[in-house]
Amino acid sequence: MLAIEIKSGRRRDALPGMAAFVEAFQPDRTLLVGGDGIKLEAFLSRSVMEWVQA
């Protein structure tokens, strides 16, 4: 399972939604898109399967 959080701001330290999701569902991987994570343009330039299988 892959969890993806999209941030519109720059604060990476405030991820209460991701923390709650990880605790409840224990995904194999997490991705932070935007903010200080993966740039939105880079995320959108790859296919969904590349992110899922990476």
Distances (CA, A) of 5 to 29, 32, 44, 46: 11, 5, 14, 16
DSSP state of 2: E
Taken in order 23, 43, 54, 47, the sign of the CA dihedral is: positive
Task: Tell me if residue 6 falls in helix, strand or coil.
Answer: strand
Q: What is the pLDDT of residues 9-50, one digit of tens each?
A: 666 566 688 889 999 999 999 999 998 899 999 999 999 999
Residue 37 in tokens: 């994570």
pLDDT the model gives residue 16: 83
Who has greater pLDDT, 8 or 33? 33
pLDDT the model gives residue 54: 75
Sorted by where each begins, the domain ranges of the chain are 2-53
- The letter for the amino acid at 36 is D
